[in-house]
Structure 1
């Protein structure tokens, strides 16, 4: 599974809700609105791929499961690029433990995915095979996705 080789700290602060940004409205009131992603929305390597339609935390296990589903369907032909990396450490306390007594131990790694972000790209295969592989991979992901291709 994917994980960072080295991190600055063992445990990290929990990030704020990453799907919203604060903008100054009339009379300097803060308006919370959904942010739009400008980078990571285009295909850079392959001719088709999978794009996220909802914001979510994507676990490293889900990324690996989707990658395996695609490679097995393509019978190890073609080329697959993974465009997300799980760089956020998620900690969790065990079940039936009382509150307090510090932060829980590291549980798993996750990637913060925003709407419009490209997750996987495929090249060197036929269009129908690529569509079927992307459908299999999308079934392993915990949010809505869309199949995209270059024009």
Structure 2
């Protein structure tokens, strides 16, 4: 005879593994457990995503390619929210569990400083699928294992700011995160310049085409020439002309000095 609990379990709709709400289920690798000792049937137990867990609320695809974190970009290599932070010196894939462990350790350390906040600049939104050892080739990609994110060289991972936190306390707190990350990182401040791969310098700047264009300049150019692209090209030409004039002035001054020296002699 069918019991009331089994009827309600059949009528209850199952949650999708990638729902749009703030609380949904995630697949587990060990998801088959016996229902009870009397019934040997197996049911699927799924992990529930809570609000504080690092996992995307919705994804377009259930599985993703492994990919490789690249480099050679100045984007995201400087501080934006806080006054102190750490950034990566190499490319690696960081899991959600590692980021959560770093968050808990840093927040516990800066808890005594009123107003201090921790900012996370990366987010684990890439599903990692793992197959068991000694498996034959083919037969699919494998089951979902954990969420991860790709970090390229120079990418800022954590930032600390607010509350007038001192550099000693921020460095000690971020040191706890550095020991929990599977890569080499460096401590940076607002005065630290951007990083391009292995090179870090304050003279590194994005190309002229990537710089923001003032709103007034865009409006004037849209009326006269018809686009912001022409404005960028005009600004590049002005920079080249200004540099050429400076070089000409240096050559003329050098010639005058040599002539004056010859007359005095």
Q: Scaled by the length of structure 2, what TM-score is found?
A: 0.49
| Runs of 4+ in structure 1 over 6 Å off | none
- Cα distance in 1 for residues equivalent to 2:97 and 2:179: 13
**Which of 44, 59, 81 is the matching residue for 1:7?**
59
**Which of 119, 124, 135 is the matching residue for 2:157?**
119
Q: Scaled by the length of structure 1, what TM-score is found?
A: 0.83
**Which of 63, 69, 77 is the matching residue for 1:18?**
69
How much is the aligned-residue C-alpha RMSD, in angstroms? 1.4
Q: Mapping of 1:44-123 within 5 angstroms? A: 44-75=80-111, 77=113, 78-123=116-161
Q: How many residues align?
A: 135
Structure 2, gaps ≥5 residues long: 1-52, 192-265
Higher relative contact order (CA 8 A, sep 6+): 1
- Name the one with the larger strand percent: 1
- Cα distance in 2 for residues equivalent to 1:87 and 1:44: 21
Q: In 1, are the aligned partners of 2:83 and 2:190 still within 8 Å (CA)?
A: yes
Q: In 2, are the aligned partners of 1:88 and 1:109 still within 8 Å (CA)?
A: yes
The aligned counterpart of 1:38 is 74
Confirm whether residue 134 of structure 1 aligns to residue 174 of structure 2. Answer: yes
Deviation at 1:96, TM superposition (A): 4.3
Deviation at 1:39, TM superposition (A): 0.6
Deviation at 1:99, TM superposition (A): 3.2
Judged with a 3 Å threshold, the aligned counterparts in structure 2 of structure 1 residues 88 and 76 are, in CA distance, closer, same or farther, namely: farther
Judged with a 3 Å threshold, the aligned counterparts in structure 2 of structure 1 residues 18 and 75 are, in CA distance, closer, same or farther, namely: closer
Confirm whether residue 149 of structure 1 aligns to residue 189 of structure 2. Answer: yes
- Cα distance in 2 for residues equivalent to 1:120 and 1:102: 36
- Name the one with the larger helix percent: 2
- The alignment partner of 1:136 has SS state of helix
Deviation at 1:94, TM superposition (A): 2.4
- Cα distance in 2 for residues equivalent to 1:110 and 1:37: 21
